[in-house]
């Protein structure tokens, strides 16, 4: 469990993490999202004791990192995959980590196997590809068999095989009951991997909710209905407090109601339906909507125009 309590970081007069209070629970993958510069890395660094909070606390199982006796056995992290000395082989790098943290050296072979680096265990890591470097970083995070794992942009620059491998790994770590906290800018990937989302913008908490709820709450999530009596149904839906768009022909797009409510309204109105189906927003659409006002360096019109078109769908 990771607990952030009023966590705050200021650099000079800039507040880059602003009163974050969140519990990141075990047994699920929690995605950590936010526009560039939102404060994600700074937050993770404070959890790991690499940056000092200006106020508030970041706790691992109720304690600050600095108070953990064998930190690598409590929390594993991948923050910067290039943090390994290029002259070291994976085996030597991991052995040194194990020795300084009271971790049995046999774990080195186990984690090398888990991340698929056994075949290159004695090669110098300086020549490793980005994907191999990420795997080595993850091996280090897993070395102490910790209950809490944090990954900052783990799929950055990976090929589809690598992306899928990381997704499966996160899911299986969470299924083992561990706390998995992972930042990413790849929304489709987060939609496939995360159970819970913590979204921040300009250092502040914007959302802390299950992925399904974030999507459901989006105004772009709608119920699509087709009926030969669109005007009758529209009247009934509006009277029930739902919002209705009429793209044309038999079709209605309804927001502010569930499939069940729309079906019941059609039944009450005695209207025949040719289709009643969910139209879910993508996580990317829901995320863009959530963070629209928190984007620090927003691109001008094209993105905004894109959102406008989608809102009409």
37: contact with ligand ATP by CB under 6 A: yes
To ligand ATP, the closest distance from the beta carbon of 11 in angstroms equals 4
CA 282 to CA 278: how far, in whole Å? 12
81: contact with ligand ATP by CB under 6 A: no
Token pair for residue 287? Answer: 């995320």
Judged by CB under 6 A, the residue of 8, 22, 33, 39 near ligand ATP is: 39
Which class for 161: exposed (0-12), middle (13-18), buried (19 or more C-beta within 10 A)? exposed
Token pair for residue 214? Answer: 């974030």
16: contact with ligand ATP by CB under 6 A: yes
Token pair for residue 244? Answer: 């209705």
CA 197 to CA 214: how far, in whole Å? 8
To ligand ATP, the closest distance from the beta carbon of 152 in angstroms equals 7
To ligand ATP, the closest distance from the beta carbon of 202 in angstroms equals 9
Judged by CB under 6 A, the residue of 28, 40, 107, 236 near ligand ATP is: 40
Interface map 195-234 toward ligand ATP (x if CB under 6 A): ----------------------------------------
> How many residues bind ligand ATP, per CB under 6 A?
10
Interface map 41-80 toward ligand ATP (x if CB under 6 A): xx--------------------------------------
Residues at the site binding ligand ATP, with contacts judged by CB under 6 A: 11, 16, 34, 36-42
């Amino acid at each position: 469990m990771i607990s952030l309590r009023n966590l705050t970081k200021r650099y000079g007069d800039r507040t880059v993490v602003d009163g974050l209070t969140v519990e990141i629970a075990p047994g699920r993958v929690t995605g950590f999202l936010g526009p560039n510069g939102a404060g994600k890395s700074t937050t993770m660094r404070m959890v790991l004791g690499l940056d000092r909070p200006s106020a508030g606390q970041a706790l691992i199982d109720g304690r600050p990192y600095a108070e953990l006796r064998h930190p690598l056995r409590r929390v594993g992290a991948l923050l910067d995959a290039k943090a390994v000395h290029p002259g070291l082989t994976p085996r030597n790098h991991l052995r040194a980590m194990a020795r300084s943290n009271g971790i049995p050296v046999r774990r080195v072979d186990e984690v090398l196997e888990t991340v698929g680096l056994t075949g290159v265990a004695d090669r110098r890591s300086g020549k490793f590809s980005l994907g191999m470097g990420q795997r080595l970083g993850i091996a280090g995070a897993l070395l102490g068999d910790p209950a809490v794992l944090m990954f900052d942009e783990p799929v950055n620059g990976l090929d589809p095989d690598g992306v899928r491998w990381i997704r499966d790994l996160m899911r299986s770590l969470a299924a083992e009951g561990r706390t998995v906290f992972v930042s990413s800018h790849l929304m489709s990937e987060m939609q496939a991997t995360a159970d819970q989302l913590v979204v921040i913008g300009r250092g502040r908490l914007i959302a802390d909710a299950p992925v399904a709820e974030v999507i459901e709450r989006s105004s772009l999530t709608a119920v699509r209905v087709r009926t030969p009596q669109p005007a009758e149904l529209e009247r009934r839906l509006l009277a029930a407090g739902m919002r209705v768009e009429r793209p044309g022909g038999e079709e209605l797009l309804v927001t502010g109601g569930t499939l069940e409510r729309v079906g019941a309204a059609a039944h009450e109105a005695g209207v025949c339906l040719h289709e009643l189906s969910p139209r879910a927003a993508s996580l990317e659409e829901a995320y863009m909507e959530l963070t629209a006002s928190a984007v620090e360096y927003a691109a001008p019109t094209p993105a905004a125009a894109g959102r406008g078109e989608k809102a009409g769908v």
